[in-house]
Structure 1
Amino acid sequence: MALKNNLTRFMADISLRTKLIVGSALATFGGLLLGLTLLLWFADSALSQLLVTQFKVLATIFVVAVLFAIGVSYVSTQHLTRSLMALEVGLLNFKDNDFSVSLPVGGDKQLQALAQLFNESAEAMRKERQYIYQRELLLDKVIQSSPNVMLLLDDDKRVIYGNDAARHLFNQGGGIAGSALSELMAQVPDELEAALNKPKDGLFSLPSLDREGEQETWHLSRGQFLLNGQYHHLILLKQMTRELNRQEVAVWKKVIRIISHELNNSVAPIASMVNSGRMITSDLNDPKLKLIFDTIEDRTSHLSQFIFNYARFAKLPLPTKSAVDWLKLTAQLKQHYAFKLEHELPVESAEFDLIQMEQVLLNLLKNAHESGSSVEHISLSIFDTRLSDGTAGICIEVNDAGAGMPPEVLRQALLPFYSTKQSGTGLGLPLCREIVEAHDGRISLHNRDERGLCVRLWLPQ
């Protein structure tokens, strides 16, 4: 058994070409030897004696024949050897993830078929690799552009991957790959650190970086999966403030629609009965009765206007965008409210719903005039801007020199039904926010350094 194993290992170490050459030589030698044996066996004594005496000649013939067989085998196996070596090199390149190698197609049909099959496989692998590479680039672009914070950790809680939002949240835009999560948590607010230390998903609030005194709501979710025999942990942080605000506004809109429907069902019959009552009692000419009818009619009219204002907020249509000329828009605004135009207007026109955005700017200019500010200190600015992620947009600012807003009012100014005015409906600024956000924009309010309020709108180009 040991001898058999040693012989098997010895044969495995010999190359295929050597085996073919040795096999050809042995076959030639064996054929000649077999032929000579048969000749001696069947030949008569005289011929057998002659063959024996010509041993040197026979030996020379044997040697020449074997050498000739070796030479023929060596030449005929050259192409096979080159093809097998090329195939070996190509497979080694496959092993190293290099699919750029192609084999020359030549030789007999079997080698041609093998080379063709190898080349087709290499081409398919190249296309598949290019497809995967493009998908990885696209996926990385999507992840990097996502506002959600994404962290991939190994089982030792070290960062394997973090998108751009994660780098800005944890390290002000610097690299975080390879850092321990505990090191990153030392640079974040206590609320975020406490949420990350908890093993479950949850909601938490952080102070806003853009709006002083405001809180932003975040959602933390976790995931775990096994990759290459190791556990990996995925942490997702999503800012929920805007989504929660939208859900809150959606609830308010539903309530408004229900209340408006019920009130309209009651106001319309009352108004009809007042008209009928006037007609029936027209002959009496009673001043007190006329005062009663006038009061009812006035209050129903006021209530109808009140319902209309709220219904307009609840049924805001989707914006119909079109190109808007800045000069024409500012000229129309000045016909209603005076203001000072700061800076030069953008050269290029913008696209938004003119009627809706005009309503927004009229509301803001009206608030500025009612803020106690002098007219000469009310200004409007329109200029091109670009966000930190490179998104181009238009910034519109309305500034006044009024009393500004106290912090508690500033926090609730964009909520529906909140108003500090005695006759206010609390829908002016919320309606502005609805219109701006329907244009995929943003609205923010800030007290100015010296005196007054700045309302800033940002709209994407």
Structure 2
Amino acid sequence: MRIRSLEARLAMWLALAALTGALVYVGVTQWPLPQALLWFHNELKLQLATPTHTEAIVICAAVLAPLCWWFAHIVMDPVTRLLRALEGAVASYRDGDFSISIALDRRDELGDLIHVHNELGQTLREQRQNLAQRELLLDTVVQNTPVALVLTDGSGRVAYANIAARHLFNEGRSLNGLHFGSLIADAPEALRKATEGTEDALFSVEMDGSEETFHLSQRSFRLQGRPHRLQLFRRMTRELSRQEVAAWKRVIRVVSHELNNSLAPISSLAHSGAELARRGDVQRLPGVFGTIGERARHLHGFIDGYARFAKLPAPRPILIEWKPFLDGLALHCQFQLVGNAPTQPGWFDTAQIEQVLINLIKNAHESGSAPEGVTLSLTVVGHELRVEVADRGPGMSETVLSQALLPFYSTKRSGTGLGLALAREISEAHGGRIALANREDGGLRVTLILPLLSSTTS
């Protein structure tokens, strides 16, 4: 609680200075100086003149000048000492030391300022302590993660590396300060090529007599105003092995299901045909053989679809003029072209991309969308071609969206789960990608992104 404010103290000292000046002026002009001069004149016969009005003012100024300076020193001394203390505290904060507190005990505005400053210091100390604890926790987590982490500066020297990185690249020794490019100069070519690029990569190297697969994630950013690069090397061999086993299990389940669905009726019909032939009822035999042939053709088509997926040839891209390509596509499926075709020709394998679009447009029609709701749009964005197939069906749930591009995943009773997976395989073989998303106003949008000739040749 304040006892007296700085303003009240200053007013008090000014009033005291004014009272002192008035008393000096009265003493010089009225009493006791005139009476003293008169006594000296009468008793000691000294000729001393009474000060004039101007001389009285000069005498008052001579007395008040040092007095005012003393009063000013009394008023400003605590302010000066506080400013010096604050200057030292700010210098300590700049150096990262938040342990400084001001011990002046005052009950005025300066006391309020000291209290607020000390609270700020306490808050900064607590935040610094919490930050240090979080940094320690983060460093502990990063150091003990199995993912090898390497942070390099603009010159390529290692600024930070965790335990996994030290064991992977330097036999457990520290990497800090070493040039990362020189460190992996003798590493396998697949590793060096992956780190020389700027995109995420999947590569395999020979380690300890066996092949090890790694996934490399890398990002560039600025840290404290300077460029840095973060690279994460994750061992994927065990995960890929689990995924491979899971994929084979799905293949076996799908193939077994389809074989049973075809072989069971074929076996039953063959037995029925044999009975009809034994009885001499040959009129019903063509129907039995026709059904057997239909199931055999279905099974052949199913196996052929898997074979085509497994033996997908490398794409042979050529320049594509849009009008003949779209005219040919329209002969196989029905769609509404949104906007105009790009003036820049496409650059892809005609047969493969045509098959992808036929499958996507067929899926759009099978979604329950009205025929006029199935649209195709072609847009050039930078050095990429965006091909969008959209419909007005019910769309997909989040679960289906996350798994729709996986091989052998299908929500259709008779689906093989290879249509979208084949589209993904073809788009990635072209250096592109495919994405699925629900439309805000209903329906599904499948986006196929392919590189154009300019970005491919560069």
Do Structure 1 and Structure 2 share a fold, with TM-score over 0.5? no
Q: TM-score, normalised by structure 2?
A: 0.45
Q: TM-score, normalised by structure 1?
A: 0.45
